[in-house]
């Protein structure tokens, strides 16, 4: 009569029901809704690429990038957090609020493109860690150029190339002994 042991155990222990709102806090690793820190964002769009349910959308604009997130679509898989190269995307550790209307918690974060130090036009955001991962040893020249907007960077690169070619051409000409 083992079932009687279970029953007497239950009676002796008392009800196990947790009365509202006495709910246990979620585990430390809990995967809640996603937030994004615009200050860290590179606007690379990886979170959009890995998002299975299209809860995250990254829409690049002229001077800034729109990052939208809809918890109603989110599957809370955490892929965006795992794959973000600069840890700009994080997940809340709590269960969040309930809501009644579809899309009520949709969030939009605008990631402004920093101004180009030369011309003032929008340039792409940059991050030291990613720069290191992409190029290994970062030369002073590269670090200086990375802040520029695309146009200024192209110009700077062309100028540098021209300068190099020019020097080579100068020496070549002199070597020619014409």
DSSP assignment of 61-117 equals -SSEEEEEE-TTT-----HHHHH-TTS-EEE-SS-----SSTTTT-EEEEEEPPBPT
- Taking CB under 8 A as the rule, does residue 47 contact another protein? no
Q: Single out the residue of 25, 28, 100, 140 in contact with another protein (rule: CB under 8 A).
A: 28
Show the site string, 91-110: x = touches another protein by CB under 8 A, - = not: x-------------------
User: Based on CB atoms, which residue is closest to another protein, 76 or 146?
Assistant: 76
The helices-and-strands tally (H runs, E runs) of the chain is 6, 5
Q: Single out the residue of 38, 42, 57, 77 in contact with another protein (rule: CB under 8 A).
A: 77
Residue ranges of alpha helices (H) inside 14-53 are 46-50
In the numeric block, which tokens belong to residue 159? 């100028």
User: Based on CB atoms, which residue is closest to another protein, 95 or 173?
Assistant: 95
Interface ranges with another protein (CB under 8 A): 1-7, 10-11, 13-17, 19, 26-31, 49-53, 75-79, 82-83, 91
């Amino acid at each position: 009569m083992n079932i009687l042991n279970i029953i007497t155990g239950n009676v002796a222990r008392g009800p196990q029901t947790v009365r509202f709102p006495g709910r246990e806090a979620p585990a430390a690793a809990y995967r809640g809704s996603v937030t994004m820190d615009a200050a860290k964002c590179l606007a690379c769009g990886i979170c959009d690429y890995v998002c299975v349910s299209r809860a995250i959308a990254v829409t690049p604009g002229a001077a800034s990038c729109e990052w939208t997130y809809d918890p109603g679509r989110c599957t809370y898989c955490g892929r965006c957090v795992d794959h973000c190269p600069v840890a700009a995307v994080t997940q809340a550790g709590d269960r969040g609020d309930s809501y009644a209307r579809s899309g009520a918690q949709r969030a939009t974060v605008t990631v402004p493109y920093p101004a180009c130090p030369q011309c003032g036009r929008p340039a792409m955001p940059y991050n030291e860690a990613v720069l290191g991962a992409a190029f290994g040893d970062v030369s002073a020249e590269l670090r200086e150029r990375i802040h520029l907007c695309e146009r200024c960077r192209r110009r700077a690169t062309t100028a540098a190339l021209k300068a190099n070619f020019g020097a080579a051409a100068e020496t070549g000409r002199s070597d020619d002994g014409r």
